[in-house]
A and B are shown apart, each in its own frame.
Chain A
Amino acid sequence: MSVPLEPNTGRAGARSNNECRARDGYDCSRGRVLMNLLFLVFTFPLLGFLTLALSRTRISENAAAAIGVGSIGLSALLTAIIGWQFYQLPGGESYTQVLWTWMNVDGFAPRFALHLDQLSMLMMCVITGVGFFIHLFASWYMRGDEAYPRFFAYMNLFVAAMLFLVLGDNLLFLYFGWEGVGLASYLLIGFWYKDAANGAAARKAFIVTRIGDTFMAIGLFILFHGLGTLDIQQLMTVAPQKWAEGGPMITAATLLLLGGAVGKSAQLPLQTWLPDAMAGPTPVSALIHAATMVTAGVYLIARMHVLFELAPDVLNLVGWVGGLTLLMAGFTALTQTDIKKILAYSTMSQIGYMFLALGAGAYQPAVFHLMTHAFFKALLFLAAGSVILACHHEQDIFKMGGLRKRIPFTFWVFLIGSLGLVAFPLTSGFFSKDQILFQAWAYGHHEFYWMGLAGAFMTALYTFRLIFIAFFGAPHVDEHGHTHEVHKPHGTDHSLPLAILAIAALFGGWIHIPLDSVLPQAAISEAAEHAEHTLALTSVLVSLFGILCAWFFFLKNRAVAAAIKHSTLGTLLFRWWRAAFGFDWLYDKLFVQPYLFLVRVNRRDVADQAIGLIPRLTLALNTQFTHTQTGQLRWYAGAMAAGAVAVVAAVILL
């Protein structure tokens, strides 16, 4: 065990130590010059964060916006350049940039190393690309907030951490980013700190995800001690050699990684934090709680798919977790009235699709859906932000109504996002969801297929419920008989991001993303291939039927919906679904209350009380013994005699 530490392999080798793994004898030194700039992709946001954090309130809104949005813009530009070069390389090449060795203790030597391959390239594009437009929108949305620079500081910090997460070459570096995004999420949910409710939501998000993170950390201990490394690429090669399929160690390790993934991605049973996280400003919800951070769990499982394939039971569990979350969140979304909460449950549900796909072994569709979901869900959240500002910070859809005519641009982009979400034919979501369902069927996971199909109906139903209630019908009339004026949002910084994201949500499905070198694609049987068109048609029909139902219940004939809702069974179900199946209640009773009870009982520190008994006892004895000091000679003489007898007795007896 006592291996002397290796000499410091730190900065000396920095940045010259670039490796590349090539296939087919391709010359690595050629055509990769620009990739040496990889570290700059996260350096820009980091610098943006530092500048904004250090200058604090001393700079103007415009300067803060320029720094905050500009840094992400530079990142996005750089990503585009690197991507341009990356996709010219022959497929399957990856590139590693070592910054420095984090620590080196007795064989444990995680490095700060960036790994660029097809998967991380795609993630980088989504994070910086979608991230840039969300930042741009945020510069409009947050105007006038007293802590404008602080907002962009946190946002930049988030992007930097998210890039760590996807570029990290070893699990500890990934864990760094993993915790970093959690921190940024905490800071941004609680951004409006004066309201204690926001603080509570932020803490809940951090602590619930931290529980998952702790599972993951324990998973890292198992992986390191079992396989001797945390380098992702090495793990992938070593694990199949050292561990048999389905063995206890690999099962435990992947189960713990799954624990981390469900925490971050708000899946059962750690999903409860996501709806509360909507307390943050809406661009935050778009960036962190829809497009990027919450999909980190999907990324993790896709990244570690070799390990998960060694533990088929756990992989199957991933699918079940996804499927159940997908349905549960769908039912809950149907009963919410807050526009952001509906979108939050919808996000949960869509990530459920991705987990379901992963569980079925359809890794590529899962990641594809991650990308299209980032487009349409970011769009939906931003459009919702536009709606909320237009309605004077009103978030209840039942207090909107008729917005279609009053804010038409927002309506159209919201509609486009919704079409993506319900997988309307030829929109982006259609292609990805279709592939998920098809591959789930083709790989023989029919139970996942049916859950996915049921989810498609639910998605259509709750999405168009939102649209028909908020955008159609008559404007809401309040109890005084007034209808409120609507702010018509305008400005390029408002409309441009929405327009671009709308285009992406419409046509993003046509983008072909090569992932073959990272994520395997199992062969599909001929019989399954024949079924492809039937399956696609089925899911389209199911979605359309969902929209039709939504139209009937929530626009045409709301009385019917109300009647169902007020029936005995309806009331019960409605209450159960509306409370998100009672998980918050359950966890409160199971964990929060016992914790608070323990804390309250022990407020005064039992140990201190116990030790405090010693001086008290001494004092009590002292009082007792002072009574013996009576000053009466006969008592003293008596005591002496008794003592003498006792001594003599002791001598004789012993």
Chain B
Amino acid sequence: MILLWLILIPFIGGLLAWQGERFVGRGFPRWVALATMLIALGISVWLWCVGDYSLPAVGGVPQWVVEYQVAWIPRFGISLHLGLDGLSLLLVVLTNLLGVMAVACSWREIDRNVGFFHLNLLWNLGGVVGVFLTLDLFLFFFLWEMMLVPMYFLIALWGHNSPGGKGRIYAATKFFIFTQTSGLIMLLSILGLVIVHYQQTGTISFDYMVLLKTVMSPNVEMVLMLGFFIAFAVKTPMVPLHTWLPDAHSQAPTAGSVDLAGILLKTAAYGMLRFALPLFPNASAQFAPIAMSLGVLGILYGAFLCFSQNDIKRLVAYSSVSHMGFVLVGIYAGTTQALQGVVVQMLAHGLSAGALFILCGEIYERLHTRELSKMGGLWARFPHLPPIALFFSIAALGMPGFGNFVGEFLILLGSWPISPLLTILASTGLVFGAVYALILVQRAFHGAPAEGASPLKDLGRRELGMMAVLMVLLLALGLYPQLVLDTSAASMNQVHSIYGAAQALTGVAP
């Protein structure tokens, strides 16, 4: 039941915030949303503290620390089936944490339709939490779509129309079409999987645990796997299907960007780990070389594009493409080290990219531009913001001591036995990552300040507090990742045991 509450609380909070604005006042939705997300965060952290996440799978069947199931549409074998294990717990904690940040960073930025904004934000977050918890494919698809619509509104209604850009409506529509199309392909795959299962057993079920044991012919498996893969790849985003991301990011409000980069992208990686690999292990193993190559392509392509961006948010957006390339490589490498690295990388990227987007928002609030060519010399004009931005840029380039390094290193270390060549190519991303992270620092903060530039309003307590939390967590993740690794170990071993067996069959096992 607690799992259902985790999903419902943001939905209820959203409704309250929306309606409350009319009766109580403008500030009300903010406080409601903050309280809601804090409660949700509290519950998820509490679940982390009390649960034992080291339960190993029994006989290939995943063990859920908390499970909840009630029938929904029994005729089609659809139920409200929720389950929590280490992987989903970590992502739920991340979602709720960044949810708090997203609410906090919109405190000043959003002053139109505050209630409706928070409705969309919270519903989106609720949808994401649902995606991380659900064990029913129908419900999964439902929530997968559920989280898109509020995001569409966030971009379309509260986005920016940056000069030279194509506008927020364009960006929102592009985002919607990309994800919607790929979502429909996934729906076809889900239906295909259910039908294959029906032909074998005579029962219709959308339940993950039931479908997990479906036996398929190689061709069918490959086709169904590709359906899932495309949906997730668009969301990851994987080059060349990434092009919605920079537009969406550059037009979205800050909270939307935090949400997109920090959380929404992770649903795709989660989908691969939870569904694509375990449901279709053989096809995935066969497909792995292509997927890993595309991941490497993403790392390099994203890094190259970063360098030429003039819009600071587009730059950070492309850096997400690059970082999520590592995630893709790690997932399809499939060794325990690589998979554990993927978990750390997802969390670290959520924290660091989230923080960078918040900083971009703060710069925009003060300078009213996001163009790097109009910045330069900001170091002299703010006391606190530039060093903090430097901190997160350094984290993004993979400096040891920060979470990103642990993630990237484990992914590369784990990928080496699978493909040394791809690992070497992916490693060059460390160099190109440094190139764009440092050029960002140079163009925004270093250099001489413009003639007659006045000092800018520095970060307030709210903003400093947010940054401090993210900095401490990112350092903790980099210096003592064991807490996270222990939590996700059982889940990742489970994925590895299924996928590793398939790799052994296709002959790529280490």
Contact = CB atoms under 8 A, between A and B. Distances in A.
A103 interface: yes
Given A1-B335, A5-B489, A599 B412 contact: no
Interface string A408-420: 0000000000000
Contacts of B489: 4-5, 105
A607 B239 contact: yes
A10 B480 contact: yes
A175 B336 contact: no
A221 interface: yes
B387 interface: yes
Interface in A186-212: 186, 190, 193-196, 199-200, 202-203, 206-207, 210-211
A179 interface: yes
Given A8-B486, A214-B428, A221 B480 contact: no
B455 interface: no
A607 B401 CA distance: 35
A214 B446 contact: no
B485 A225 contact: no
A608 interface: yes
B18 to A, nearest CB: 34
A217 B500 contact: no
B438 A218 contact: no
A621 interface: no
B8 interface: no
Interface in B363-398: 377, 379-380, 383-384, 387, 394
B332 to A, nearest CB: 16
> Interface on chain A toward B: helix, strand, loop, or mixed SS?
helix
B243 A214 contact: no
A595 B428 CA distance: 13
Interface string B390-425: 000010000111000110011011001100100110
B240 A100 contact: no
A585 interface: no
A57 B497 CA distance: 54
> Interface on chain B toward A: helix, strand, loop, or mixed SS?
helix
A400 interface: no
B20 interface: no
A581 interface: no
Contacts of B54: 5, 7
Most-contacted residue by chain A among B424, B438, B481 (CB, 10 A): B438
Contacts of B275: none
Interface string A270-306: 0000000000000000000000000000000000000
B413 A224 contact: yes
Contacts of A190: 446
Contacts, number: 160
A500 to B, nearest CB: 33
Interface in B414-446: 416-417, 420, 423-424, 427-428, 430-431, 434-435, 438-439, 442, 445-446
Contacts of A105: 336-337, 340-341, 410, 485, 489
B243 A605 contact: yes
Interface residues of B, number: 68
Interface stretch (B66-74, B107-115, B134-142, B304-312): B304-312
A147 B377 CA distance: 14
B413 to A, nearest CB: 6
B242 interface: yes
Nearest to A604: B308
A2 B430 contact: no
Interface residues of A, number: 60
Interface in A1-29: 1-5, 7-8, 10
B447 interface: yes
Given A210-B430, A599-B304, A100 B480 contact: yes
B406 A103 contact: yes
Contacts of A176: 400-401
Contacts of A200: 442
Interface in B462-506: 479-483, 485-486, 489-490, 493, 496-497, 500
Contact of A600 (B56, B308, B401, B486): B308
25 contacts: A1-B510, A4-B56, A4-B489, A7-B486, A8-B482, A53-B387, A56-B384, A102-B479, A103-B485, A105-B485, A106-B335, A106-B336, A176-B401, A179-B405, A180-B399, A195-B448, A206-B434, A206-B438, A207-B434, A207-B438, A210-B431, A217-B430, A220-B413, A221-B413, A599-B307
Given A214-B428, A611-B240, 16 more contacts: A2-B500, A4-B489, A5-B493, A53-B387, A105-B336, A176-B400, A194-B377, A196-B446, A199-B447, A203-B435, A203-B438, A203-B439, A206-B434, A210-B430, A225-B413, A607-B301
Interface of A: 1-5, 7-8, 10, 53, 56-57, 100-106, 108, 172, 175-176, 179-180, 183, 186, 190, 193-196, 199-200, 202-203, 206-207, 210-211, 213-214, 217-218, 220-222, 224-225, 595, 598-600, 602-603, 605, 607-608, 610-612
The 7 closest A-B CB pairs, nearest first, are A607-B240, A608-B243, A106-B336, A176-B400, A193-B446, A5-B489, A221-B416
